[in-house]
Each structure stands twice: as C-alpha cells, then as structure tokens.
C-alpha cells in the first residue's frame, strides 16, 4: 500500500506541479540516469528542491531516489515523519551523535549498499535564492566510504523564487537545472571539497538566463 501511495503522490501531484505548473529546463539530464548507486549533490533554496530532482527520473526508478534531510525537521511530528519517510522516501540524518558509537551516516550507507541514489544538500539549510554558501564536509566522509560511487553535482536556479523560505504556496517560475560530470573520492578531503565547490560554481555560470526579480 505504501508503494502505491508513493507512486500516486508523485504521479498525480508532484510531477504535474513540477513539470507543468512550473516548468523545468534541464541541461545534461542523461548524466543523472547513467549511475546507480550515486550521490546527487545540489544547492538548496526551497522545499521544492528534492521534489524537482526526483521528478527528473523515470517512474520505474524514482523509488530508488532518496533525499537526505536533517531528522529534527520532521521527526517531532508523527504524521509528518510517516509521510516523509514512507511517501517521500527521506533518509533522516541526525546532526548530533546520541552516543560516541552512533554513526550519523548509517542510513546513507545502507541505501548506497542497496543501490539507491541519494540526494544531498551539503549547504545544510536553505540559503538565499541561487547563492551558494560553504559546503559542509559530511559529503566527503560519505564519498570516502564509497570511493567507487559517483558524486553528481547539480545546480538549480529558480526554485528560490518559486517557493522561497517561509512560503508554502508555489509561484509559477521556470526552473533551470544543470547537471555536471560525476566526480569521485580523491583521497584528500580538502582537495575533494574544493573540486566539488568549483564544479558547482561552473554549473552556476552555465544557467541560460538570470532569475526573474
């Protein structure tokens, strides 16, 4: 039943809103479809970010796409937690260790071992629309554990205007999505993070038009 509800949610609500009510222009979509498991790394400006990324996959694969989100955002509410975990497919990330032995990346590791595709937002929280902030290094720890898993950078523009922070009703604004070439763990955290951030900045420069003010 849960799988049926998830398909219905994305097919009847998320996809029509994302692809038709808003409109998405994507460059190099094929780079998303060539790898599994994989880690998609994207900028974070809106609650719509993960929905847009999941919608770019064919229906037969979208159940393998798992956004990663801080557990404290939704686990306090029983109904919201059920919806996030079972319908959206979120992997909860606890940002603070409960004990020294707690592994905050355990859920992400299990998902990758099962061949899933993770969506990570290394900026942490939603920032100003289309402005990149410093990346947190959690992605480097995960990449180090899975050096053969590709990390695919994605830059999105427009979603910060379509559903800005603090708002709950989407505004029809076309979104641009640019997918980069995959990169892999290099063996040095600082070099890896610099490479990832540089690639994201290059993708941002490829966006075909400025965001409407």
Q: Name the CATH superfamily for 2-205.
A: Glycerol-3-phosphate (1)-acyltransferase (3.40.1130.10)
Look at residue 16 in the predicted model and tell me its pLDDT: 82
Rounded CA-CA distance 173/158 in Å is 6
**Structural domain boundaries of the chain?**
2-205
* Residue ranges of the chain whose pLDDT lies below 50: 210-213
Look at residue 71 in the predicted model and tell me its pLDDT: 76
Look at residue 129 in the predicted model and tell me its pLDDT: 60
- Closest to 201 measured CA to CA, from 178, 185, 184, 183: 178
- Closest to 151 measured CA to CA, from 29, 26, 42, 24: 42
Look at residue 213 in the predicted model and tell me its pLDDT: 37
Q: What angle do CA 24, 132, 143 make, to 5 degrees?
A: 90
Where would I find the beta strands (DSSP E) of the chain? 24-27, 38-42, 65-70, 91-93, 117-120, 151-157, 175-179
Buried/exposed code over 70-96 (b: 16+ C-beta within 10 A; e: otherwise): bbebbbeeeeebeebbebbbbbbbbee
170-211, pLDDT tens digit by residue? 666 778 899 999 999 988 999 999 999 999 999 988 875 544
Q: Please tell me the pTM assigned to this model.
A: 0.87
Look at residue 49 in the predicted model and tell me its pLDDT: 87
């Amino acid at each position: 039943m849960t799988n049926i509800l998830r398909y219905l949610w994305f097919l009847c609500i998320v996809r029509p809103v994302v692809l038709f009510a808003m409109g998405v222009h994507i460059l190099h979509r094929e780079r998303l479809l060539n790898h599994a498991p994989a880690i998609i790394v994207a900028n974070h400006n809106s609650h719509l970010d993960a929905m847009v990324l999941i919608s770019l996959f064919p229906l037969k694969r979208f159940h393998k796409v798992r956004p990663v989100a801080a557990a404290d955002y939704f686990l306090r509410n029983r109904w919201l937690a059920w919806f996030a975990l079972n319908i959206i497919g979120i992997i909860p990330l606890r940002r603070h260790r409960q004990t020294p032995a707690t592994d905050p990346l355990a859920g992400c590791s299990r998902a990758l071992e099962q061949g899933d595709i993770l969506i990570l937002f290394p900026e942490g929280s939603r920032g100003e629309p289309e402005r990149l902030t410093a990346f947190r290094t959690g992605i480097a720890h995960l990449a180090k554990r899975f050096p053969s898993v590709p990390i695919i950078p994605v830059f999105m523009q427009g979603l910060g205007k379509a559903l800005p922070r603090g708002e709950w009703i989407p505004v029809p604004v076309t979104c641009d999505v640019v997918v980069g070439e995959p990169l892999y763990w290099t063996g040095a955290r600082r070099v890896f993070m610099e490479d990832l951030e540089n690639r994201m900045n290059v993708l941002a420069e490829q966006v075909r038009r400025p965001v409407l003010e």
